[in-house]
Amino acid sequence: MSEAAIAAAAGAAAIAEAIKASGVLVRVEPEEFSKILNRIKDPLVVVAQGGFFNSNYRYLVSYKGLAFYTKTGAPLPLPGGTEVVRSNRISIPG
């Protein structure tokens, strides 16, 4: 596994641990998610593609101690410098 892949996996694990520890997950509209991403220098974003009949894209990022999540029907444009971790699935508590 490359150093970049190890760092990305560690970042994704850190986001998951932050959610478990704080229990705070904020669901936002895709437009608001994009605004949040543009505030973060070199963000780490977890992305999962899913859907059975229609594709959907799920995004997760941590910012100032909160985890922000959105779901879209089309891929979001991500700012330059974004580190992306691709996941098979993002499980969000209902």
What is the distance between the alpha carbons of residues 50 and 39, in angstroms, rounded to a whole number? 27
pLDDT in tens, 32-69: 999 999 999 999 999 999 888 889 999 999 999 889 99
State pTM to two decimals. 0.75
9-35 tens-digit pLDDT: 776 676 666 556 556 789 999 999 999
pLDDT at 9: 72
Structure tokens at 5: 């892949």
Write down the domain spans for the chain: 3-87
Backbone angles phi, psi at 4, to 5 degrees: -65, -40
CATH of 3-87 among 3.40.50.2300, 3.30.720.90, 3.40.190.10, 3.30.365.10: 3.30.720.90
- Residue 62: what pLDDT? 93
